[in-house]
Amino acid sequence: MHIKEFSRRFYIISLLFLISFVFVICRLIYTQFFHSHYLSAIADKQHSLYIELIPQRGIIYDSSLRPLAINIAADSLYAVPREIKDKGKVISLIQPILNADYGYLKDRLSRNKSFVWLARKITPQAAEKIKTLKIKGLGLIRENKRVYPNGYLAAHSIGFTGIDNQGLEGLEALYEKYLKGRAGWAFFLRDARQNRLNISQEMSPPEDGLDIVLTVDEVIQYIAERELDKCFNANNAKGASIVVLEPFTGKILALANRPAFDLNYASSATPDARRDRAICDLFEPGSVFKIVTASAAIEENKVKEDDKFFCENGSYRVANHTLHDHEPHDWLTFKEVIEQSSNIGTTKVAQILGPQVIYRYAKLFGFGEETAVDLPGEVKGMLKDSKFWSKTSIGAVPIGQEVGVNVLQLACATGAIANGGYLMKPFIVSRVQDKQQHVIRQANSVVIRRVISTDTAERIKIILKGAVEAGTGKLARIGKISAAGKTGTAQKLEPDGTYSHRRFVASFVGFAPAEDPLVVIAVVVDEPHPYYFGGVVAAPVFKNVAEEVVKYLKSKQLGENRMAL
């Protein structure tokens, strides 16, 4: 009885052992032949460390290869929460160094992870203090930090990057594909305690980003920003913009706005300060738009400079609207109409031409369309087709009402007069190059179209020179350097659609020297007070900038000629 029971148990146990043995053998075979790659990968992961090799972001230079955006090394602080036992003590030690929120640090260190960022790109002083603490579970990683040596200078054009060096605004964003480079990678061996041995198994080096060279000249940019800043503050303005353009090429030598912001602290700047007003904001140009009407009249051979117009002593009825001049005039020649900025005289000239002609020339000068500048965010403006004009439009559009433009468009349109009749495409990036200065992409001057004849351009130059010497732009006169230009004072629209009697846009656009222009300068000041006339507010900015810039460019040309010899 007992022997039979023992035999049955023995067979059962033997069978169980046999089944277990077969299962183990099958499992070993499966592991060896079917699961080996997975387990090898785990082993490799335990003893190999993958590191992404970050490329250097491309540098942004001015036209003379002075750096406007560079990279510096900066330490970033990380933590391994699983290795930190007394998290409260660690937070109390690092919080004053990082000047970070207690709740933020507590949240990061409470995570059950092997890696979390605590602070990115901290100051060298903070990094040194962290090192002296020697806290297990904290570490520093060296990264690249984008830095802008000149702070506010050309901020709206250059733009800025985020914490991971990705372009967010301006040229940093628009030229991201050139500037960012290509990341590399490397596998390093680790010991059983997961410490890096600095023995590389495989590596693919990073490719640094390409550099971009701007048409902007740092010296001219500084002059323009300094004078714009003075004007902005002295006139208690809401905003202000300036564009300095090379008329024969379309190169942007300077572009600035107020309010502005420091590129190194872009995240704390307001959206209003970051907005590139020179290309993003629309406004009615007012009397500076009379350049279009004057050019159309001469080009169409409808009016001559000495033709006289009765300016109705300052009050003229157009349909159901009464038009006024800022000063009453009786008889003025056509040249004097533009010099003295008579709304009534300009309207009478426009009535001779007709709506279709005014509209056609406004389009030729580039209004109502984008300039296609290589900057993000440009608005194309507003220009109604003549078939949609009302009965009063003939007394509004020719003097710069019912039209929406941006500052860059004004500069380009005036450049067409300065250079003899050609509308040029504006551009701000001269070339893209590698670290050995091999050119990858070169920008060239582009003629969009001929707007007016050379003869008409020369005649308009003389009229605009008269506007500076004897007309509304007297405060733009530059001593021994001749200048030509046009003032503008435009009423802003109130919410109910009527023109304001307390909010204005003051402007001046011109070029110097008048006979052989080196620069076109457009200045626009939004809501200045108590003074608001373009000839009082904007013209002095033109004068101060043009005087210094012309002297600088002539001395620069002289130096280049001497070097060539």
**What is the SS3 string spanning 457-524?**
HHHHHHHHHHHHHCCCCHHHCECCECCEEEEEEEEEECCCCCEEEEEEEEEEEEEECCCCCCEEEEEE
pLDDT at 521 over 90: yes
Answer whether residue 480 is part of any domain.
yes
Answer whether residue 353 is part of any domain.
yes
Q: Catalytic amino acids? A: 287
Q: CA angle at residue 205 from 199 to 211, to 5 degrees? A: 145
Answer whether residue 16 is part of any domain.
no
State the pLDDT at residue 57: 95
96 and 199 in one domain?
yes
State the pLDDT at residue 197: 46
236 and 143 in one domain?
no
- Residue 242 near residue 523, CB atoms below 8 Å: yes
Q: Domain end: 214, 232, 249, which one?
A: 214
542 and 411 in one domain?
yes
pTM: 0.86
Could you tell me the pLDDT band of residue 327, with boundaries at 50, 70 and 90?
A: very high
Instruction: Give the model confidence (pLDDT) of 344-376 as tens digits.
Output: 999 999 999 999 999 999 999 999 999 999 999
Could you tell me the pLDDT band of residue 40, with boundaries at 50, 70 and 90?
A: low
Into how many domains does the chain fold? 2
438 and 379 in one domain?
yes
Answer whether residue 113 is part of any domain.
yes
Residue found by looking up tokens 């008329």 in the block:
247
Stronger pLDDT, 100 or 429, i.e. the higher one: 429
Answer whether residue 9 is part of any domain.
no
> pLDDT > 90: what percent of the chain?
71
Q: 146 lies in which domain range?
A: 50-214
CATH number, domain containing residue 183: 3.90.1310.10
128 and 111 in one domain?
yes
Q: How many C-beta neighbours within 10 Å does residue 503 have?
A: 17
pLDDT at 512 over 60: yes
Answer whether residue 191 is part of any domain.
yes
Could you tell me the pLDDT band of residue 31, with boundaries at 50, 70 and 90?
A: low
Burial zone of 220 (CB within 10 Å; 0-12 exposed, 13-18 middle, 19+ buried): buried
131 and 233 in one domain?
no
Q: Return the minimum-mean-pLDDT range out of 26-35, 192-201, 444-453, 545-554.
A: 192-201
State the pLDDT at residue 205: 79
Instruction: Give the model confidence (pLDDT) of 262-304 as tens digits.
Output: 999 999 999 999 999 999 999 999 999 999 999 999 999 999 9
- Residue 373 near residue 408, CB atoms below 8 Å: yes
State the pLDDT at residue 198: 52
Kindly state the DSSP code that residue 155 receives in the 8-state scheme.
H
CATH number, domain containing residue 505: 3.40.710.10
Q: Return the minimum-mean-pLDDT range out of 47-56, 75-84, 144-153, 215-224.
A: 47-56
Q: Domain end: 176, 197, 214, which one?
A: 214
Stronger pLDDT, 15 or 530, i.e. the higher one: 530
- Phi and psi, residue 165, nearest 5°: 60, 30
Residues 6+ apart with CB under 8 A from 34: none
Answer whether residue 43 is part of any domain.
no
State the pLDDT at residue 232: 98
404 and 315 in one domain?
yes
State the pLDDT at residue 38: 55
Could you tell me the pLDDT band of residue 32, with boundaries at 50, 70 and 90?
A: low
Instruction: Give the model confidence (pLDDT) of 447-474 as tens digits.
Output: 999 999 999 999 999 999 999 999 999 9
Instruction: Give the model confidence (pLDDT) of 135-177 as tens digits.
Output: 888 888 888 899 999 999 999 999 999 988 999 999 999 999 9
pLDDT at 187 over 90: no
Could you tell me the pLDDT band of residue 385, with boundaries at 50, 70 and 90?
A: very high
Task: Look up residue 410 and give its two tokens.
Answer: 């004004």
What does the alpha-carbon distance between residue 163 and residue 288 come to, in Å, rounded to a whole number? Answer: 43
353 and 299 in one domain?
yes
480 and 378 in one domain?
yes
What does the alpha-carbon distance between residue 81 and residue 417 come to, in Å, rounded to a whole number? Answer: 67
State the pLDDT at residue 136: 85
537 and 400 in one domain?
yes
Stronger pLDDT, 1 or 11, i.e. the higher one: 11
286 and 195 in one domain?
no
- Residue 500 near residue 494, CB atoms below 8 Å: yes
- Average of per-residue pLDDT values in the chain: 90
Answer whether residue 34 is part of any domain.
no
